[in-house]
Structure 1
């Protein structure tokens, strides 16, 4: 079969080698005579899968020993509610940095639970940049500071992270986790839906400092308490076992690529192919995000004068040429290429060539 040039924003590309390995083990997992999906999550076989995935993630991200790794369900959207439910005690406020659609959804959900304040916002700049540290005002009663490390819709990404002395930093890294090395110890908690850089949809990774979840409030349901899942090693209820297995395979693939430092350079090389076409197009293509805040995961751009008819033509012709997922998000329009870890260099080179040729035909 011919593989598509997959630039979907999520669910997104999974490494071909991982898919082939999963295919080979799909019906008969390691000689068990059954698929992993058919096995009890209490079995020694699945417990090994669960633990190996945790151990690999800890190794690749250099996660300190005083952090728990949880495999949960419900996506980042459930975390938007779980975070304030677990951390907003009486008299405390959640401080949120508003950088776009996903940060906005986290803020909206937090306000349902308790007090949430906007510590900084780039709304006046159409969410096309990240705020400077001097713009962030954190209230004294902040229980935590929350940010979205990479906004998939706007294509904006933090290059460095702010630090706060009196409140732990919590980051939604759904769309750029494992794309580069980070210092986990600078965060109280990191969470990410798997369906962009980690594997298939269905599992959400939470990396959280143990002292923050030592005793979750007894006033919320057990399934929504972090300590419930930490004490049970993510096996309190039936987990998304196949998705966790796939995450483990992706982590092995990342390790085989040389780890996060090597992957970061690979991602920069990939995205440079496309950004260079935009920057050298003499205004035919226009990047949306401020140059210093451009994402290496989601490249957002328009065609000159926001020509929607020409953009529709671009989408139609790109799809005919085998490209998938280049239409911008419905809320903002335009064009977007999501270049997550599993998107190969060859796909980015093919897109860059297509963009050049499209410009030549339509200038």
Structure 2
């Protein structure tokens, strides 16, 4: 089984509901557990991964899990699973223990359903490794086994959503109701530009908005909001983001079922953001890495400040083209992974095998969807 993990620096912040939903409704606040089981306050976890696993509930047929997120804020935890049929299932819980590589989460509820049991979350840095555990859901036996692996150098890339999340403080206002405090926000943008903006209120409820990404730069995203659960919504949302897909601010106003609303949110500034590139001595001079795909396309990858910025493509009898690259993550081996597209239609990935210090004599691995992979040499 070849599985692929996605390094992301944030995760979904959606309401808890074990039932399948097209858009998550407002969630019920997690039922607290005695303070004696609490662990000392630690920085939030924002883990996300693509892999494969099995979810079993009662006598129902086992379901295949293809994607998972784990988000913790203080001792509160949310686990979201995407099933092979595209549907989502979510749980709330409490962090009862945590180390640098593992966290124990005690389940408390899944929407209106009671949940018990403990899930073990294994991770490395910000990379989700596995989720395993058992318990009950409304009295029915529950078990989950989900594993992440990374083979980004051995198979073509697959398009994945971009996820931005951040704790912070803000205000949600809806005409005719008192303003409410926002404590957390997340934005998920799918490869087709469909998007979801979710805000978590101080009372534990989540308010999701659906829409479409209409613009993206290196610093901000603009969404056109069209729905909120089963309600109609209209209006733009401007999201500024920073390192590690953190949210700097959100500003939005419009109508929700015909009533004016607004969102103003500022994300907390992390005390120390993890480096997305290993520290290294700058390479002397200009570095370019070249190679050839099996179908005849020759490539020339260019480096700027130890980062790969683009790939130039050439083939006899074909029009040259350029793929602009963006840094995606470091894989499990600490090698930077960049992503882009070939003529805006085919996914491209570049893995810097030098570990973040490309130089004369180092190598890269370039993968193109349906073309396979090729090893390139740097000079």
Same fold by TM (over 0.5)?
A: no
TM norm structure 2: 0.28
Higher helix share: 1
TM norm structure 1: 0.29
Higher relative contact order (Cα pairs below 8 Å, separated by 6+ residues): 1
